[in-house]
Structure 1
Amino acid sequence: MQIKNIVPLVLLAGLPGCATLPSSGPTGEQIRKSAVAPEDLPPINVLEVRAAADVPQFSKAASPAAILMQTAVTPTDMVGPGDILDISIYEAGVTLFSSNNNSALAQAASPPGVQVQKLPPARIDDQGEIAVPYIGTMHVAGLTTRDVEAMIRKALLRVSQNPQVLVSVDEAITNSIIIGGEVAKPGRLVLRTNRESLSDVIALAGGYRGNSKDLMVRIMRGTSSADIRVNDIIEDPTLDVPIRPGDRLMLVDDPRTYSILGASGRVEQVSFRRSTVSLAEAVANAGGTNPNLGDPAAIFLFRYVKDAEGKETPVVYHLNMMQTGSYFLAQKFTMQDKDVLYFGNAAANQPSKLVQLISQLFSPVLSVTSAVSVIQNSN
C-alpha cells in the first residue's frame, strides 16, 4: 500500500477524537446553561457583577464579644476550688496557737510580744471549703483573700485575744486560664490583673509559633466559643477581646485558602497573604487568563453564601474582564476562605485545538513519507 493511501485512513482514525478535544473546563456559556438545571441540585444563581452595587459586601463574622458568654470582671484575689492558701495568725498576750515552729522571717516581721503561727497550706476542696484549727470547715469559694481573713478573725475572737490574720494565695487555679496549641509555653497561665486581653495572654505564653496569617485562636468560655484570626487582631483592635478566668484558648494552624481552576496561568490552591485579598489580586496571583486557552470575559467565582436562615446556598459571580469597569470592581471584591476562582475556556479556541490535533496526527505520516522519499531517491 502506498503512502498516499495511508493518509485517508489516518484522517478517519482521528475524526472520532475531534468530538472530545482536550479542555481545562467549561466555557462561560456552558457554565450558565449548567447552572440553570444542575444535576441533582436546585438551580444555581449566577450573578453578573457590572456595577458597585453588584459587589457582595464583605461578611465579617459575628463579634467575638457578642458570641462569648459575658462574665463580670472578678477581683484578682478571689479564691475558689483548687486554690492553695497560706494563712498566718498573729496573736498578742495569751496565745491560742503555739509559736515553736514559727519561721525566722515571721518572727522578725512581728512586733515584740506578738506570736505568729503560719498554718499548713490549705487547699480549697471541690465544695469550696477549707479546714482551720479551732474553727472547723469554712466555705470560702467566691470570696477574696480579705474576706477570708475577716471570716477567720471573727471566728477566732471567741477563743483568742485580738487575733490578726493574713491570707495569701500560694497557688492560683481560680484566677487562671489554659492556653495550648501553637504557643511557645502552653499550659496554665495565672491572670495577674484580670485586665489581660487576647494578645496579652499570647505574649505571656511566650508568643505564637508559625505565621500569624495562618493561625486561628479558639476561645472557649463556658458553653460558648469564638474563633479569631491572630492576624486580624492587628488590623481590627476590637477583636482583641478581654480574657476572663476559666477561659480555655487553643491556637491552631488553619490557613485560609482559595482555589484557582480552569484556563488560568496556573492551577493551584493559594493561601491568603494578608487578612483580606481582593479578586483583582487573586487574578494576578493566578497569572491571569491563559492567552492560548482562556476567555477574559468569562471569570467566575464560586462561593457558598448563607441566607437569612443560616443555610448555605451556592452562588456564582461573573465578571467580564474585557470591560474596563470590571478591573475597578475586582479591587472592591473581597475573597473569602474556600472560594473557587475559575477562568472559563474560550469557545474560539476549539478550532485551533482541532488544527493542532490534526497536525499531531499528520506529523508521523509526513515523517514516514519524507523517509520513504529519501530511500527511493537514493535507490
Structure 2
Amino acid sequence: MVAVSCFLGACSTLPTSGPTGPQIVKSAEKSSTNIAIVEVSDASVLPPAPEHAQWILPENTPPPTDMIGPGDVISIFIYEAGVPLFSGTVSESGGAFDPSVKVQTLPPSRIDDNGDIVVPYAGRLNVAGKTLLQVQNLIRGSLHGLSQNPQVLVTLQQVINNSVIVGGEVGQPGRLVLQTNRERLSDVLALAGGYRGNAKDLLLRVRRGPHVAELRLSDVLQNTEVDAIAYPGDRLTLLQDPLLFSVLGASGRVQQVPFSRGTMSLIEAIAAAGGPNSSHGDPEAIFIFRYEKDDAGNSKPVVYHFNMMKTGSYFLAQQFALRDNDVLYFGNAQANQPSKLIQLISQLFSPIVTVTNAANALSN
C-alpha cells in the first residue's frame, strides 16, 4: 500500500510525450521572447501564401555570340595581293581569288587577361568586348599602309568568354558554350545532361558577377517568368536541399518529414505525420511553430493553434501553406497522465500476480 501511495502521489511527475495545449499557450504568454499565439479560427488570421520567388539578379541584354573576351583563342588569316608583307610558308588560295593572292595563317592567339593580342607588324591590340567582324577591321586598319589592301579573316577556335559553368547535381558538369545567347536556365541544365534527383529537393544557385541568388528548381521549371536567360560568365550550381518539416509531440514518432511536393498544406502535413496518436494525442491541440518577418523585417516567433475538433479547422488547414523548417507539434492529451499511471501500476503488480498464480497452481 505504501508503494501504491507513492505512485499515486507522483502522478504529476509521470513522463509525457510533451506539454498539453493549455500548457503551450500559457508558457508562450509568459515567455520573455514575445512569442505570438495565433488562434486559427477563421481565414482572416491565416498568413499570406508565399509569393512566387523571383531572381535578385541584374538582367542584362546578352552580348553577341561572337563577342571576344579574355581566355578566348582566335585564328587569324591574312590575305595579301602582290608582294606579301608576311613571309614564311604561304599557300595560294583558289576559287574566286586572284592567283597572285597569298594567305598567311598566324599562330592561334589567346586573348590575355587585359583583353589584348599581339599581331606581327600591327603590334598589341585590345580586342576584348569586340565582335569577330570588329577585330577583323581593327587588324586590317592596323596593317594599312604596310601591305597592299590586306584582307583579314578571324575565327573563334576556343570559346571561353561566351560560356557558363554548370556544377552540382547535373549529368555532365563543366563548361558549356552558349550557342545563341538565348538559352534559358532550364535549357542550360538540359544541355548539361539534365538534373539528378527531384526538382522540389534541388536548389539552383546562380552567381552572376558579384551577385548570388538561389531559387528552388521546381519554381524555375514551373514558372516561365522565373526561367531567366543565361548570361555569359554565369555559374550555375544545383544543390541537394530538400524542403523539410519536423514532427514532435504526441504523434507516435519524432522525425523530419520531406515535402511530398513543392508546396504543401497543413492538412497534408498532418496526414504525412500520421496525425495525433489515438491513445495520448489531443486533436484540439495541433500547433505550427515558425519564425516570420514583421513589418520592420525582423524575425519573430509565431505559434499557430488549430483545434481539429472543429469542422471549420479542416478547411482552414487546407489553406494554410507549410514552409520549410516548420515544426508541427501534436499536443499531449490532458487525460494522458491517469492512463499512464494505470499502466505503471499494472506493470508494478504484474510480477506479483504472476507469482501468486504460480503458487496457487503448485498448491493445487
Q: How does 1:114-263 map onto structure 2 within 5 Å?
A: 114-263=101-250
Distance 1:109 1:137, change over 3 A: farther
* Kept after mapping to 1: 8 A contact 2:286/2:305: yes
Q: Once the two structures are superposed, what CA deviation does each residue of 1:293-340 show, in whole Å capped at 9, x if it has no partner?
A: 111111100011122333211100011111111111111111110000
Tell me the CA shift for residue 178 of structure 1: 1.2
Structure 2 residue aligned with 1:18: 11
Q: How many residues align?
A: 363
2:43 to 52, 58, 63: 52
* Kept after mapping to 1: 8 A contact 2:53/2:215: no
* Kept after mapping to 1: 8 A contact 2:163/2:177: yes
Distance 1:109 1:326, change over 3 A: farther
Distance 1:130 1:9, change over 3 A: same
Q: Quick one: distance in 1 between partners of 2:25 and 2:318? A: 24
* Kept after mapping to 1: 8 A contact 2:186/2:221: no
Q: Quick one: distance in 2 between partners of 1:224 and 1:258? A: 29
Alignment partner of 1:287 is 2:278 = no
Moved more, 77-86 or 261-270: 261-270
Aligned-residue sequence identity (percent) comes to: 55
* Kept after mapping to 1: 8 A contact 2:205/2:214: yes
Q: Quick one: distance in 2 between partners of 1:117 and 1:49? A: 81
* SS of residue paired to 1:94: coil
* SS of residue paired to 1:285: helix
* Kept after mapping to 2: 8 A contact 1:261/1:268: yes
Structure 1 residue aligned with 2:22: 29
Query: Structure 1 length normalisation: TM-score?
Result: 0.91
* Kept after mapping to 2: 8 A contact 1:156/1:163: yes
Q: Quick one: distance in 1 between partners of 2:80 and 2:2? A: 116
Letter in 2 for 1:49: V
* Kept after mapping to 2: 8 A contact 1:153/1:164: yes
Q: Once the two structures are superposed, what CA deviation does each residue of 1:240-291 show, in whole Å capped at 9, x if it has no partner?
A: 1111111111111111100111112533211112110111100111111211
Q: How does 1:52-131 map onto structure 2 within 5 Å?
A: 52-60=43-51, 62-64=53-55, 67-98=56-87, 100-102=89-91, 107-108=93-94, 111-113=97-99, 114-131=101-118
Q: Quick one: distance in 1 between partners of 2:245 and 2:153? A: 60
Distance 1:312 1:110, change over 3 A: farther
Two-structure CA RMSD over aligned residues (Å): 1.8
Distance 1:110 1:293, change over 3 A: farther
Q: Which runs of 5+ in 1 are unaligned?
A: 1-7
Structure 2 residue aligned with 1:4: none
Structure 2 residue aligned with 1:301: 288
Letter in 2 for 1:324: T
* Kept after mapping to 2: 8 A contact 1:215/1:253: yes
Alignment partner of 1:363 is 2:356 = no
* Kept after mapping to 2: 8 A contact 1:86/1:119: yes
Q: Quick one: distance in 1 between partners of 2:147 and 2:222? A: 61
Letter in 1 for 2:246: S
Structure 2 residue aligned with 1:5: none
* Kept after mapping to 2: 8 A contact 1:198/1:240: yes
* Kept after mapping to 2: 8 A contact 1:14/1:361: no
Tell me the CA shift for residue 108 of structure 1: 4.2
Tell me the CA shift for residue 43 of structure 1: 2.3
Moved more, 51-60 or 122-131: 51-60
* SS of residue paired to 2:245: strand
* Kept after mapping to 2: 8 A contact 1:26/1:344: yes
Tell me the CA shift for residue 12 of structure 1: 3.6
Distance 1:101 1:374, change over 3 A: same
Tell me the CA shift for residue 131 of structure 1: 0.6
Higher helix share: 1
